[in-house]
Structure 1
């Protein structure tokens, strides 16, 4: 028996689910398939910035208050200097914007729930077999489709199958994540800069935090960086992780093309940005809406042209911050300067979240 759909999405992570929701809301018959079974976890900092929450809201997805814990801004620290910036106020109602710390498993369940409610067909534990000489098969059945979307991550099989795997790898680092049962000591997502990398502390509830580290060294692990930061060593001393440590690779990559014929790439499959920016999910959600608009207009060229803009600023910001990672003297000088002029850090955060520019904001 043959399966058929308007859009076949390969990959059921947040990017694939966001695209499925956006397309289904436009009336497309969407079939999403993934070889894993939900919920699908991934090592990440688990902080949704205000722009990510905005993009989710445009898809109709609004996290519930008990899904996570709010945070009011970002704080950088290196043991000598500390600087904080809060998110801007919402011009529509005057309230302060916040981010949301939410477990990756919780986010995945939330997206699945919304996808199910709008009528997305989802097949889990269902690998998609791609061949150059035969139609794709899902659960051993041929699948007829008008469009196919590769949302299957860094090692995308759809990208290779479509001959779009002409990537430029700019940076590759290693990330690790665990959870601790402790009352958050800050309303910010804290980024602690250490010699071997960065540690991100994100509040997830009134009694739980996420600790994620990113490093360029293959030998460094989560506990190594925690031990190298006096504040974290003191706060977490004697505490046991309440989840097992999980690792992942984070990259900054760029592709020459993200579409070919009726094939499009999305999320990390279409290019990526280092986790240091915290913008990976916001980028994927933004791309999902752009792709739905393009397919609705029967024109993937518009997606290809706009896709470039979704990565340009985050990759530029990642390059600047990774330069600080590689050059301790520059990092120390930059953090001292920012702590002396916190309004500059505030402006940088606005730019990072597409809330303004250094040229026209004062």
Structure 2
């Protein structure tokens, strides 16, 4: 990638925003990954500038579920109590099969709309000392003579501005535009797609208590969900993993109509129909892409680290990505802090960060393998049938939530044999 053609004045702040000319760490994207990285780095005393193309507290299409890895990340950030004060605590994930069977898997769980969660995380970064500016959109990296990233060209309003930085962290989510501009996008198509809405239904409070994930033949190859949110609201949606998967590996969109899949979910799952009938849909149903399995983008280039969903930090089987986004953001921060403390080179910092993601990759691959449940929902019927007869299997399923059990083993050939012989 060549030096940006536009010549802008980096010393002149844009109208309506206090944008510094330079910083130590420039973070693009104030979602869970970017805000987590910003908080850790700012707490260590670094000069951090956190940017987003939308104002603080922006919405994000998401199931809003906080599973144990999210709780662990929030605890490290020192924000767990603040989040849980606003969230809806939940005791179980309810797995519902096509034949109507159900198993409730216990876990440390909660639901909080992303608009509120992201606001808490972004504010947490600012409370630690990071500077936040929005709206500001990443246009291109700034490069030195050796093609090392030394900052970014940003669009604020109708004007372009430059900010120089020792390091740039790209945490721009599933949309590939920023990755492409940075020369790091390896796959423009998403790993999956999802559609969700919020329904206010006070009459359903206490009747839908778990984070219900539902597999039906009509929703295949996807799944539906209903999660109880605060204030008498529910997050309801459908997701399809592998929506752009093709045999040649290049990715080609399948014939999917998410609204039809959503309607099929409501039609085929009585509690969903009851929720939509008794409740009030707040706003419109909204769709979004997913980037999963730590694939689809290069993780770094000189002077720049990619983190969060831009790096593919969402699990393909469950669609959960909040916890892993925060975790990868903190891994980026850790690599930079360790590098500074040890006097490491650019290459050594990048290597340390990429090794930390590589260490996570086998876990993502197992979730990808477990994803066959979505294409073959009868497998969940078998799992639910056996789990209702085996306390040990329920503990293993809870271990998947807690990341202490291998999700792939639950539906492998070996796993099927264990279904019939374990107690």
TM-score exceeds 0.5: yes
Deviations 1:201-260 (A, max 9, x none): 212125222112213562242333112112322344242213322211224351473011
Matched, 1:100 2:110: yes
Give the total of aligned pairs.
349
Q: How does 1:46-85 map to 2 (within 5 A)?
A: 46-62=64-80, 63-78=82-97, 79-85=99-105
Distance in 2 of aligned mates of 1:266 and 1:220: 28
What does residue 6 of structure 2 align with? none
* Structure 2 residue corresponding to 1:343, chosen from 376, 392, 398: 392
Distance 1:287 1:339, change over 3 A: same
Distance in 1 of aligned mates of 2:291 and 2:384: 24
SS of the residue corresponding to residue 76 of structure 1 reads strand
Structure 2 spans left out of the alignment, 5+ residues: 1-9, 12-20, 145-150, 244-254, 340-348, 410-422
Q: How does 1:159-170 map to 2 (within 5 A)?
A: 159-167=179-187
What does residue 268 of structure 2 align with? 228
What does residue 95 of structure 1 align with? none
Q: CA RMSD in A?
A: 2.6
* Structure 1 residue corresponding to 2:43, chosen from 5, 8, 25: 25
Deviations 1:250-305 (A, max 9, x none): 24351473011121000111124356425301111111221111101222211110
Distance 1:170 1:331, change over 3 A: farther
Distance 1:160 1:65, change over 3 A: closer
Distance in 2 of aligned mates of 1:274 and 1:57: 21
Contact in 1 for aligned 2:317/2:367 (Cα 8 Å): no
| Greater mean alpha carbon deviation, residues 214-223 or residues 164-173 | 164-173
Deviations 1:171-217 (A, max 9, x none): 42333232332314244211111221322221212522211221356
Contact in 2 for aligned 1:198/1:214 (Cα 8 Å): yes
Q: How does 1:261-280 map to 2 (within 5 A)?
A: 261-274=302-315, 276-280=317-321
Contact in 1 for aligned 2:64/2:235 (Cα 8 Å): yes
Distance in 1 of aligned mates of 2:191 and 2:52: 27
Report how far residue 311 of structure 1 moved: 4.1
* Structure 2 residue corresponding to 1:121, chosen from 131, 141, 145: 131
Deviations 1:132-176 (A, max 9, x none): 668622343321110001101123444324432224979423332
Scaled by the length of structure 2, the TM-score of the pair is 0.75
Distance in 2 of aligned mates of 1:168 and 1:33: 23
Distance 1:342 1:208, change over 3 A: farther
Contact in 1 for aligned 2:196/2:235 (Cα 8 Å): no
Structure 1 spans left out of the alignment, 5+ residues: 88-97
Q: How does 1:268-347 map to 2 (within 5 A)?
A: 268-274=309-315, 276-298=317-339, 299-320=349-370, 322-347=371-396
Report how far residue 77 of structure 1 moved: 0.7
SS of the residue corresponding to residue 194 of structure 1 reads coil
Distance in 1 of aligned mates of 2:196 and 2:332: 31
What does residue 146 of structure 1 align with? 166
